[in-house]
Structure 1
């Protein structure tokens, strides 16, 4: 089984994915963790989108290779890869199915003011779900890139709305 966790930033995806991994005894892969660990120290200042996207693609290649291996030995995989756009989610479904996996989507959301507050608090607290600083400007840019699921896509997902602060 491949669990695809998605939603806008600050919706609680990392917290949810961790809990789901523990519940299913699965392996969780987070794009933020991979990117920060592998490429964070080398990030150009200011960040360049083409530089970042090239490395995201490299991480995805490795994550999907690992996913294939885990699926082949019946270990659940929980993927927190961003999946901001509808086409990203469709492509992830196709890749999971090519791995021979059943697919479950998990959609998380919360009001924008709460999500923004969570992200800014995470920047300050730098707790266990912190990967990188998301500035208010970056939050706003990411909001414009995110495509919320339409009613049909929502119907396919297990929906969760986290209320933690």
Structure 2
């Protein structure tokens, strides 16, 4: 964990990572965490929508197009996260990491940077999540950043790998109700 000293006080910035499938309530929970911990919120969807939303997607190789841009965004988010933690600012990340392999690589970066990390796992039944996403697509409310088409919802839901016990054993992993 990074400890910073300001006016003789130790400030311990903390990293909060929210994971879960599409429509699990991550964005709403992230807003709550930011208020509770006076943290900066960074979401991959906001970056993708802001930077690449207006761009035309290729007819062929759409997944590769997305992954290449996602990875660039994640590198910038990580760079900014390190800077924010380094100046004593708590950070809430909502950056996907729906598969264990992605999370393991992220945990290695966090460990190398010696950051304090709490992981929050949110989930809900698929039909509940599907209805939430449809409603969010229609209402375009506070947590809307981009439309999630039904086929993408299904694909991302199929890819979700909930953390298993061994992934949680050495980490501060919480399952908010």
Q: Which of 117, 121, 132 is the equivalent residue of 1:118?
A: 132
Structure number having the greater helix percentage: 1
User: Deviation at 1:48?
Assistant: 0.7
- Cα deviations across residues 3-33 of structure 1 (Å, max 9, x unaligned)? 1100011000011111101110111110000
Residue aligning to 1:134: 148
TM, length-normalised to structure 2? 0.85
The equivalences for 1:52-63 within 5 A come to 52-63=66-77
Q: What SS does the aligned partner of 1:78 have? A: strand
Question: How much is the aligned-residue C-alpha RMSD, in angstroms?
Answer: 1.5
TM, length-normalised to structure 1? 0.91
| 1:146 and 2:164 matched | no
Residue aligning to 2:86: 72
User: Deviation at 1:92?
Assistant: 1.5
User: Deviation at 1:96?
Assistant: 1.9
Q: Which one has the largest radius of gyration?
A: 2
Q: What SS does the aligned partner of 1:104 have? A: strand
For 2:121 and 2:68, locate their aligned partners in 1 and report how far apart those are by CA, in whole Å.
26
User: Deviation at 1:60?
Assistant: 0.8
1:109, 1:160 within 8 Å by CA — same for their partners in 2? no
